[in-house]
Structure 1
């Protein structure tokens, strides 16, 4: 076994032809299983019921079982060159497979009408060879299943009392068993949110028995270790983290994860993983201890009513009184949605019944004016648009102006200016506008005076003055304008923090 492992370690990276043929192993491996089992059943039937079965028929079946077992060994070896398997289980599976082929050839040779008689005492070897071949077949099948699905694949759902009688440990709670989170704010981010996502979508191929690319995602330590190419997470920077990048690749791409054909990450799951990484990948903190952005609120809200894996798309949505929520909009063009996704944007349903959509650039920091030309193709369906921290300029706002049902718009930390705000005049349902960190001035926010439904505007770190705010308030007296933390807000914050500290001391 040691020599086999050393041989693998010293072998140069396999070429594409080896990996191509190796992928046929799961197909070929079923042939010797069928042939050898048929041969065994025919021999059993012949012995127990004295049925006349042609010796030539059994010989022919044994021949093809030996040939297919040999081919399965060859293709299995080529498949193993790709790496990512537990060495001990792989070695056992390999030798068991070779044993099946060897004993199938022995049984065929002894049974053959011309070769058999030439082998001294050959008939004495026939049934032992056939029996050992069948036993090795079962063992190889079990280890093959362990390599693909995990060592507990066969025994995972063993019921009591058989589990205790067989000495099998109590069944680990599966993701399907996890109940909806009663209080999302108090949920442990990794244990209750991130780990269930990884377990349902990633751990099948990245576990102790099967670690594709030398990557395991079953424990915090292994996640932090990364793969053979290095770390897969850059804490605080999801857009630079390989874990997120491979999920955003087109599904046809060989590097896309999970691979095509496997259950894919939902938009909510991807949003939650992105948020976790951007918050520094904490393994021991609660939701309430992290910054919860507007982008992630719908995904977190879904955990209280859906499965722990977040497969149910539930959004907190805009305020109930907003007329845009009661509208029955036409269904979105799937091609238009796919075009935005190829540009790196997340497209989330706010309401499946009315077809409202949220579009977010949380993972597309390089989104720019050229790519924004695709937005008007969903002019009726986009209700929330989040372009914060991207490369958009005033030119993009000319496209945004065509989103006639837009209710929430994020433009924080972008290059938009006063000139761009003129494009927002004709958005009748706009209620929320975030201009934090932009270059807008008093002259620019005057353009907002005609937006009668506008309720909240964020103007932190802009060039807007108190005088400009006061002027806007004359036109929109109920508008909430957030200019950042003033002296009163800071005092309130300190007071609240002191009260929390005293409360902790009292405990």
Structure 2
């Protein structure tokens, strides 16, 4: 019987909040002569607010006997609720007797309502329910964060706990312990709830947690409740795997046996961590001189940072008609910061490459469709940090490429439409074993799913 009465608490608890706040509003308005008639309505609102507050206290007390909530928090909520109900009774009586202190009692009642309501919200939604909406991590349904190396990840902390946090903490946490079960700490997971242990390490199929997860959604004992976000199939498989392998809290995924069924699921959690582009130096560099940057912009040269909050720069001559020695000289004051240089399609000759060779921080250089030859390419041997070189559509030959053999960081050379012949290809590959030599000329096959325009054959005259 007491449990049944306790279940009415969520239904009743909102009534005193609304009714008593309306009573306070009526009392405030009644101070003005044109709203004096609201005095009678205030008395009625206080009466029903008082009754509903007392009923909420009674039903709340019986609900607290279930043991599903944090004892310390439930005590505070209970005493504030009793205080609110008591003040509402005093406010009603003083208002009926037209006691001069009635307005002050009603004024005291308002903050008590808010505090009591907040404590109740903390019991059901967690103590941070007001502030977590402003958190970056606040989402309706949290997803497991991508893991850089799933095999090195802690099986519980990195894989299982995020699932519990997303789908189970709402009912099984420090402040709300439905069925006297907490799933927020290892010791409580192993302890279980009022019906005993919920996991049987090494035997997932006999674990009560798994049985409840696999019940039909409409079943009363199904976890989570049908109105809550449900676990995905992969998440259930991960929990089953974790329990079946011993439900340990300190082992890495690679230390646990992994059936073929679980391997692709684990792999799906892994996502490559974004890294700083390899052709951007890791070392910190000071900001480029503002006057030097201003001169470049006045010339129409595009200068941009390679990444947000980075002092390293990329320079593009796309809007400059002709590149001269003076233009290259403008780059010298920023040579520490300049890592990417794009001279694609410009009428530059070998003589300019000698000046470009002074820009020793360059890691990416685009000289495609320019007038350079082998003679100018020799100057680039000074670019000891060069990693990517694009010389597509130039007159460079194998002999010119061979001059770059000593560059220690070279990773890729794009040599499509150069004067390098097919017979020389093997020579280049053997001399540049760790460098990608991209010859272009890619062929993209037509798939059945592609849209194809079919034209009728031309008629012969």
Tell me the TM-score normalised to structure 2 length. Answer: 0.55
Question: Could you tell me which residue of structure 2 aligns to residue 28 of structure 1?
Answer: 12
For 1:253 and 1:158, the matched residues in 2 are separated by 35
For 2:19 and 2:75, the matched residues in 1 are separated by 24
Shift of 1:24: 2.1
Shift of 1:269: 0.8
For 1:225 and 1:190, the matched residues in 2 are separated by 16
Matched length:
272
Question: Could you tell me which residue of structure 1 aligns to residue 24 of structure 2?
Answer: 40
- Structure 1 pair 290/174, CA: closer, same or farther in 2 (3 Å)? farther
For 1:158 and 1:123, the matched residues in 2 are separated by 43
Shift of 1:49: 7.9
Q: Match for 1:225 among 167, 174, 191?
A: 191
Q: 1:175, 1:199 within 8 Å by CA — same for their partners in 2?
A: no
Q: 2:16, 2:50 within 8 Å by CA — same for their partners in 1?
A: yes
Larger-Rg structure: 2
Question: Could you tell me which residue of structure 2 aligns to residue 123 of structure 1?
Answer: 100
Deviation sequence 1:195-233 (CA, Å, 0-9, x none): 001111111211111222222111112212222333222
Deviation sequence 1:432-468 (CA, Å, 0-9, x none): xxxxxxxxxxxxxxxxxxxxxxxxxxxxxxxxxxxxx
**Unaligned ranges ≥5, structure 2:** 273-461
Q: Please state if 1:234 is matched with 2:210.
A: no
Q: CA RMSD in A?
A: 2.6
Q: Match for 2:110 among 134, 146, 150?
A: 134
Q: Match for 1:58 among 28, 36, 42?
A: 42
Shift of 1:282: 1.9
Shift of 1:178: 5.8
User: After the TM superposition, which residues 79-158 of structure 1 pair with which residues of structure 2 at under 5 Å, given as runs?
Assistant: 79-112=63-96, 116=97, 122-124=99-101, 126-158=102-134
Shift of 1:261: 1.3
For 1:207 and 1:195, the matched residues in 2 are separated by 12
Shift of 1:186: 2.1
Q: Please state if 1:304 is matched with 2:270.
A: yes
3-state SS of 1:123 partner: coil
Question: Could you tell me which residue of structure 1 aligns to residue 383 of structure 2?
Answer: none
Question: Could you tell me which residue of structure 1 aligns to residue 221 of structure 2?
Answer: 255
Q: 1:42, 1:53 within 8 Å by CA — same for their partners in 2?
A: no
Question: Could you tell me which residue of structure 2 aligns to residue 187 of structure 1?
Answer: 153
For 1:231 and 1:27, the matched residues in 2 are separated by 32
Shift of 1:89: 1.0
For 1:262 and 1:174, the matched residues in 2 are separated by 10
Deviation sequence 1:150-188 (CA, Å, 0-9, x none): 11212334579xxxxxxxxxx999984863123222222
- Structure 1 pair 179/250, CA: closer, same or farther in 2 (3 Å)? closer
Q: 1:246, 1:257 within 8 Å by CA — same for their partners in 2?
A: yes
Question: Could you tell me which residue of structure 1 aligns to residue 436 of structure 2?
Answer: none
Structure with a larger share of its residues in helix? 1
**Unaligned ranges ≥5, structure 1:** 1-16, 161-170, 307-507
Tell me the TM-score normalised to structure 1 length. Answer: 0.50
Q: 1:175, 1:196 within 8 Å by CA — same for their partners in 2?
A: no
